Amino acid sequence: MSVSRRDLFKLAGVGALVSALPSKPSFAAAEKVGKMGAMLPPPKGNRVVVCGGGWAGLTAAKYLKKEDPNIEVVLIEKRPNFLSCPISNLWLADLVSLDFLSHDYYQPAAKYGYKFINATVLGIERDKKRVYTNKGYIEYNYLVLAPGIRYNYSAWFKDDKQMAEYARVHYPLAFIPGSENLALKRKVWEFEEGDFVITVPPGAYRCPPAPYERAAMIAYVFKKNKVKGRVIILDPKGDIAPKGPGFRAAYEQLYLGIIEYVPNAVIKEVDPVKKIIKTTAGDFKFTDANLVPPHQAGDLVWMADLIAKDKEGKPTGWVDQGPSYLPSKGGPACILGGRRHQWRSLSQERTHGKFSG
């Protein structure tokens, strides 16, 4: 495994602020930030504030400014530099360098004409159209939330935060860019023998092909290092999806005897201390693992109070989003996204007059 000191500093920069974002709006923090004052003067025309500098947020900022240069576009992101989750599984197997995945935020901001602010969002008040950060607040006309995800460990451990933290630290997920990726890479390259388990989350989750790609890349490392071990995929679905035929062909032709795929393995219980997972397909002991619990919408959506509720009034964990274009049900001034192709809808919003002066 080739991880240089330079790579360590890069990943430390990306991951340093991940745990700093509160899971709920901090109104005390918002009040304190409010006393700090505004970071920018009130918008003179239409100002779009984009919260979240992943693929979706960067794409939104770029194309909003490209479609209408008169719109003031502000991108807020807590990380000092960008690290791509897509293609990171190749880095896991040392097939691409970290430089290929990591980029600064200032170059695209200068190139496409939007403003980049490196700050942590602490709260959102949609009635006042304000975003509160650790550096002050920003007023907006339209808000774009590109929140990414958060991990729902309560599905496994309920209110046992100590067990959730144990699982997070000892079996990193690497679905949120940062030090998790480095921790997982070390595990893979230092693995000597035994069973390495990957759990596929149920329902919606970030990058559906990712667990199957990751299994192939870990098997590649095991094969290269002549490790006496298996990669066991525990999948709640009945078959690999998406791209099932391609992954199955790869497993059979390249990694036969190394990858074991287990369908219909709905998780009933996880014990990260005793290293055992109980599923509807049987119980599985593991030597090491990539334990991935269910996903939810990222913290920004919870801050904005835009999480949908089920018939019993309980949070679904996902966005309460309208069927037309991408506005949330919280109002047309708040746009939500997570896939690059969806940002065409933002230019459609402008074409229909919703962003016009």
Predicted pLDDT at 335: 73
Predicted pLDDT at 320: 84
337 has pLDDT over 80: no
pLDDT confidence tier of residue 348, bands split at 50, 70 and 90: very low
Q: Before 147, cis peptide (omega within 30)?
A: no
For residue 102, the cross-strand partners are 83
Percent of the chain at pLDDT > 70 equals 81
Mean pLDDT of 61-79: 97
pLDDT confidence tier of residue 334, bands split at 50, 70 and 90: confident
pLDDT confidence tier of residue 200, bands split at 50, 70 and 90: very high
Q: Which CATH architecture has domain 151-294?
A: 3-Layer(bba) Sandwich (3.50)
What confidence tens digit (pLDDT) does each residue in 266-294 have?
Answer: 999 999 999 999 999 999 999 999 999 99
What confidence tens digit (pLDDT) does each residue in 162-199 have?
Answer: 999 999 999 999 999 999 999 999 999 999 999 999 99
Predicted pLDDT at 329: 61
Q: Please give the angle made by the CA atoms of 23, 210 and 63, to the nearest 5 degrees.
A: 70
What confidence tens digit (pLDDT) does each residue in 91-140 have?
Answer: 999 999 999 999 999 999 999 999 999 999 999 999 999 999 999 999 99
Predicted pLDDT at 330: 62
Task: With H, G, I as helix, E, B as strand and everything else as coil, classify residue 13.
Answer: helix
Predicted pLDDT at 2: 54
Mean pLDDT of 40-59: 96
DSSP sequence for 53-81 = -SHHHHHHHHHHHHH-TTSEEEEEESSSE
Name the pairing type of β-strands 193-199 and 228-234: parallel
Q: Which CATH architecture has domain 5-148+298-351?
A: 3-Layer(bba) Sandwich (3.50)
Predicted pLDDT at 347: 39
Q: List, by residue range, all CATH 3.50.50.60 domains of the chain.
A: 5-148+298-351, 151-294
DSSP sequence for 178-236 = SHHHHHHHHHHHH--EEEEEEEPPSSS-S-TTHHHHHHHHHHHHHHHHT-EEEEEEE-S
> How many Å apart are CA 329 and CA 316, to the nearest integer?
15
> How many Å apart are CA 36 and CA 230, to the nearest integer?
55
354 has pLDDT over 60: no
Alpha-carbon separation of residue 233 from 101, 246, 253, 256 (angstroms): 26, 16, 17, 14
What confidence tens digit (pLDDT) does each residue in 231-257 have?
Answer: 999 999 999 999 999 999 999 999 999
Predicted pLDDT at 34: 61
Helical H segments across the chain, by residue range: 5-15, 27-36, 55-67, 88-92, 98-101, 106-112, 154-157, 161-170, 179-190, 210-225, 244-254, 299-303, 344-351
How many residues comprise the chain?
357
Predicted pLDDT at 318: 92
> How many Å apart are CA 40 and CA 239, to the nearest integer?
51
What confidence tens digit (pLDDT) does each residue in 290-316 have?
Answer: 999 999 999 999 999 999 999 999 999
Q: What is the pTM of this model?
A: 0.85
Torsion of CA 138, 143, 144, 146, to 10 degrees: 60
82 has pLDDT over 70: yes
Name the pairing type of β-strands 327-328 and 331-336: antiparallel
| Mean of the per-residue pLDDT values of the chain | 87
Predicted pLDDT at 36: 80
The torsion angles phi and psi of 255, rounded to 5 degrees, stand at -130, 35
